[in-house]
C-alpha cells in the first residue's frame, strides 16, 4: 500500500502529492509550521489525510514548546494555525478539536506528559482513520454488482487517507472481491487529482480504468455506460448536504437526471454535526494560477479575472446513499438521519 504519511522516530514525512505521479518524494516536516505549509500547499491533501497530518503537527508543536513556561498558550496558538490551514474539510477541525480537548482535560500534567498524550492521540487518529476506511470500503463494496462500471471524481484513495481510501477504497475492495469492475476516473480540473493521483493508484492496483476529462462524464452517464458513481466528501452537514471537490455537484445532477446511483463515501469524522445544511460550509477559494496555468505553463491571457472554488456542495436530494464505516445511510421519507 502507498504510505502517504510516515511518522517514525518523532519525524514526520509526507509523500509530496504536488510531485506525483512523476516523482515519489517525501517532504520532511520538522516543525508544526512545516505541517501547516504542507496542508495549505497540498503536499498532503484529502480530508482524512489532512486531519491526520494536523494531529502529527500538534505533536511537533508539543516537542517545540515542551520546555516553555507558556506551553498551553503556545499550543493553543499552534493548534489555531493548523486549524486554519484549509477551511472546508472538517476532518482537520475534528482532529484539532480532539487535541484541544485533550489539553483541556490534562491541564495539571507536566509538559512532557502532555506531549506524550498528544503523540498517542495523533497515532490513534491515524489508526482510527485506517480502520474506518476499511469498514467503509467493505460496506460500500456490498453495493457494487459484478461487472459494474464505476465513475469517480478527484482522489479518495490511500493518498487521501491512512488506509484503502473512501470512494476509491470502495472501488479497491470491490475489485479485490473479484467483482470484475471497470472504472472511469475524472481528471478533476484544476488540480488534476484524478489524472495525477487516482490514475496513479488505480494503475498500481491494476484495476482496469480509463481516465476521462471532466466534461466526458455526462455523455457516458446518458449513454448508459455508468452503473454506479461513488465520490468522497470534505464535509457532510447534518441533513446530508455534502461538500466535495468542485465538479461533484454537476455530476450529481446528471446522475439524478439519468437515474444512476450516486453515493458518497466518508468516515464519521467527515460529518459535521454542528451544521444543519451545506449552506453553512465554507468553500475554499484557491489561487487563480491553478486555472490560468498547467504545471507552471501559462494557458490563459494575462490580466484576466478568475473564480476558483476548490469545492462545491451537493444537495442531499441528489445523493442515493452515504457510505460510512458504520453503515450505508439511505434517505427515509426524503431525509437522511445521520446520527
What residues are annotated to the active site? 234
Let me know the angle formed at the C-alpha of 156 by 314 and 133, rounded to the nearest 5 degrees: 105
Phi, psi of 145, deg, nearest 5: -100, 155
How far, CA to CA in Å, does 208 sit from each of 31, 131, 187, 222?
40, 26, 16, 21
CB–CB of 268/139 below 8 Å?
no
Candidates 221, 233, 264, 319: give the one binding ligand MRU (CB under 6 A): 233
How many whole angstroms separate alpha carbon 42 and alpha carbon 33?
14
Q: Is 46 near ligand MRU (CB under 6 A)? A: yes
Name residue, grid cell 447534518.
238
Beta bridge partners of 183: 150, 209
Q: Is 172 near ligand MRU (CB under 6 A)? A: no
Binding mask 242-271 for ligand MRU (x = CB under 6 A): --xx--------------------------
Candidates 310, 319, 322, 323: give the one binding ligand MRU (CB under 6 A): 310
Candidates 83, 137, 158, 166: give the one binding ligand MRU (CB under 6 A): 166
Q: Is 48 near ligand MRU (CB under 6 A)? A: yes
- Cβ of residue 13: shortest distance to ligand MRU, in angstroms? 19
Q: Is 189 near ligand MRU (CB under 6 A)? A: no
Q: Is 196 near ligand MRU (CB under 6 A)? A: no
Instruction: Indicate the residue among 48 and 140 with the shorter CB distance to ligand MRU.
Output: 48
Candidates 15, 29, 79, 89: give the one binding ligand MRU (CB under 6 A): 89
CB–CB of 151/229 below 8 Å?
yes
Q: Where are the beta strands (DSSP E) in the chain?
A: 5-8, 11-15, 26-29, 149-152, 182-186, 209-212, 228-231, 235-237, 242-245, 262-265, 271-272, 293-294, 297-298, 311-314, 321-323, 328-330
Which span sits near ligand MRU by CB under 6 A: 5-13, 77-85, 232-240, 330-338?
A: 232-240
Candidates 12, 20, 47, 313: give the one binding ligand MRU (CB under 6 A): 47
Candidates 45, 119, 172, 189: give the one binding ligand MRU (CB under 6 A): 45
Give SS3 for 194: helix
Instruction: Indicate the residue among 102 and 283 with the shorter CB distance to ligand MRU.
Output: 283
Which span sits near ligand MRU by CB under 6 A: 42-50, 102-110, 137-145, 209-217?
A: 42-50
Residues binding ligand MRU: number (CB under 6 A): 17
Instruction: Indicate the residue among 85 and 166 with the shorter CB distance to ligand MRU.
Output: 166
Instruction: Indicate the residue among 254 and 269 with the shorter CB distance to ligand MRU.
Output: 269
Interface of this chain with ligand MRU, residues 93 to 152, rule: CB under 6 A: none
Write out 241-287 in H/E/C secondary structure: CEEEECCHHHHHHHHHHCCCCEEEECCHHHEECCCCCHHHCCCCECC
Characterize the bridge pairing of strands 228-231 and 149-152: parallel
Q: Among 53, 59, 38, which residue's Cα sits nearest to residue 102? A: 59
Q: Is 87 near ligand MRU (CB under 6 A)? A: no
How many whole angstroms separate alpha carbon 115 and alpha carbon 126?
17
Residues whose CB falls within 8 Å of the CB of residue 22, separated by 6 or more in sequence, listed in order: none
Q: Is 159 near ligand MRU (CB under 6 A)? A: no
Q: Which residues bind ligand MRU (CB under 6 A)?
A: 45-48, 89, 154, 156, 160-161, 166, 193, 232-234, 244-245, 310
Amino acid at each position: 500500500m502507498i504510505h502517504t504519511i510516515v511518522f517514525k522516530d518523532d519525524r514526520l514525512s509526507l509523500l509530496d502529492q504536488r510531485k506525483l505521479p512523476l516523482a515519489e518524494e517525501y517532504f520532511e516536516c520538522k516543525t508544526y509550521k512545516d505541517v501547516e505549509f504542507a496542508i495549505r500547499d497540498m503536499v498532503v491533501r484529502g480530508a482524512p489525510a489532512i486531519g491526520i497530518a494536523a494531529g502529527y503537527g500538534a505533536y511537533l508543536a508539543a516537542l517545540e514548546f515542551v520546555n516553555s513556561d507558556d506551553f498551553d498558550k503556545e499550543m493553543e496558538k499552534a493548534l489555531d494555525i493548523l486549524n486554519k490551514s484549509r477551511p472546508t474539510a472538517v476532518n482537520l477541525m475534528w482532529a484539532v478539536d480532539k487535541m484541544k480537548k485533550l489539553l483541556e482535560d490534562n491541564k495539571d500534567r507536566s509538559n512532557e506528559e502532555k506531549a506524550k498524550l498528544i503523540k498517542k492521540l495523533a497515532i490513534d487518529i491515524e489508526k482510527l482513520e485506517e480502520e474506518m476506511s476499511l469498514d467503509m470500503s467493505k460496506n460500500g463494496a456490498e453495493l457494487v454488482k459484478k461487472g459494474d462500471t464505476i465513475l469517480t471524481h478527484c482522489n479518495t484513495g490511500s493518498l487521501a487517507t491512512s488506509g484503502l481510501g473512501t470512494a476509491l477504497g470502495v472501488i479497491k475492495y470491490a475489485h479485490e472481491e473479484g467483482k470484475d469492475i471497470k472504472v472511469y476516473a475524472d481528471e478533476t480540473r484544476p488540480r488534476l487529482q484524478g489524472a495525477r493521483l487516482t490514475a496513479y493508484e488505480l494503475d498500481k492496483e491494476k484495476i482496469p480504468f480509463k481516465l476521462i476529462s471532466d466534461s466526458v462524464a455526462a455523455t457516458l452517464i446518458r449513454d448508459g455506460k455508468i452503473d454506479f458513481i461513488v465520490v468522497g466528501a470534505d464535509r457532510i452537514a447534518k441533513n446530508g448536504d455534502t461538500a466535495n471537490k468542485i465538479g461533484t455537484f454537476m455530476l450529481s445532477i446528471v446522475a439524478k437526471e439519468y437515474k444512476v446511483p450516486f453515493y458518497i463515501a466518508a468516515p464519521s469524522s467527515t460529518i459535521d454535526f454542528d451544521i444543519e445544511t451545506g449552506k453553512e460550509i465554507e468553500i475554499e477559494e484557491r489561487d487563480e494560477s491553478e486555472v490560468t496555468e498547467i504545471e507552471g505553463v501559462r494557458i490563459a491571457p494575462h490580466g484576466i479575472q478568475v473564480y476558483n472554488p476548490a469545492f462545491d456542495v451537493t444537495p442531499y436530494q441528489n445523493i442515493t446513499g452515504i457510505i460510512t464505516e458504520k453503515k450505508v445511510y439511505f434517505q427515509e421519507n426524503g431525509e437522511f438521519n445521520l446520527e
